[in-house]
Amino acid sequence: MEKQKTKISRSWGATFGFLGGALILFVVSILLFATIVEGPITVWLALVQAVAAVALLFMALAVLANPVVPSAISPLVA
């Protein structure tokens, strides 16, 4: 029986996309805190951006930790 060779490929485009989105949201959050924060609603608006940036950062790390194997039915879980 012949061994089947597989290549584990990582989605670097998705990883860099998530990291770029996280960076943009962090910058927006910092700018909002520096310019418009005066009350609870504006603090909430600035914090939503920061929370979304943290979520995108974790999503970027998850893409690196769980590469997709082309010949497998389900993704490889670390």
* Residues 63 and 53: beta-carbon distance below 8 Å: no
User: Is residue 6 situated within a structural domain?
Assistant: no
Structural domain count, the chain: 1
User: Is residue 75 situated within a structural domain?
Assistant: no
User: Is residue 57 situated within a structural domain?
Assistant: yes
Over residues 9-21, mean pLDDT: 85
CA distance 15 to 4: 28
Amino acid at 46: A
What is the token pair recorded at 77? 């879980």
Residue 44: which domain range?
13-63
User: Is residue 46 situated within a structural domain?
Assistant: yes
- Cα 39 to chain centroid distance, Å, stands at 29
User: Is residue 45 situated within a structural domain?
Assistant: yes
- The pTM for the full model equals 0.70
Which residues 6+ apart lie within 8 Å of 12 measured at CB?
Answer: none
The most confident of the ranges 5-14, 18-27, 35-44, 61-70 is 18-27
User: Is residue 52 situated within a structural domain?
Assistant: yes
User: Is residue 58 situated within a structural domain?
Assistant: yes
Q: How confident is the model at residue 62 (pLDDT cuts 50, 70, 90)?
A: confident
